[in-house]
């Protein structure tokens, strides 16, 4: 996927909805879209819709 200069691809690891599951077959999950996947959820979203995730919410900074 091509992105314009200055655009950044949403990273699941930086999203509040992202989690790691205990399911060996489907290791990665997204609470906002309510699904588990074998690969990062952002890749599934792009494959299905052709655009970056609209539910991305940045995790608060840890102190």
Q: Where are the domains of the chain?
A: 12-49
For residue 37, give Cα distances in angstroms to 14, 15, 27, 62: 17, 16, 6, 27
Q: Quick one: average pLDDT of 46-59?
A: 93
Which of 50, 53, 58, 22 lies closest to 40 in space, CA to CA? 53
| pLDDT tens digits along 11-36 | 899 999 999 999 999 999 999 999 99
pLDDT of residue 61: 85
Residue 9 banded pLDDT, cuts 50, 70, 90? low
Q: Mean pLDDT in the chain?
A: 86
Task: Say yes or no to pLDDT of 7 above 50.
Answer: no
pLDDT of residue 33: 95
Across the strands, what pairs with 19?
29
Angle value at C-alpha 20, between 48 and 29, nearest 5 degrees: 25
């Amino acid at each position: 996927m091509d992105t314009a200069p200055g655009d950044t691809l949403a990273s699941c690891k930086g999203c509040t909805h992202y989690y790691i599951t205990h399911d060996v077959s489907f290791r990665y999950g997204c609470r906002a879209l309510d699904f588990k996947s074998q690969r990062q959820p952002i890749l599934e979203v792009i494959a299905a819709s052709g655009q970056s995730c609209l539910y991305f919410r940045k995790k608060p900074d840890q102190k």
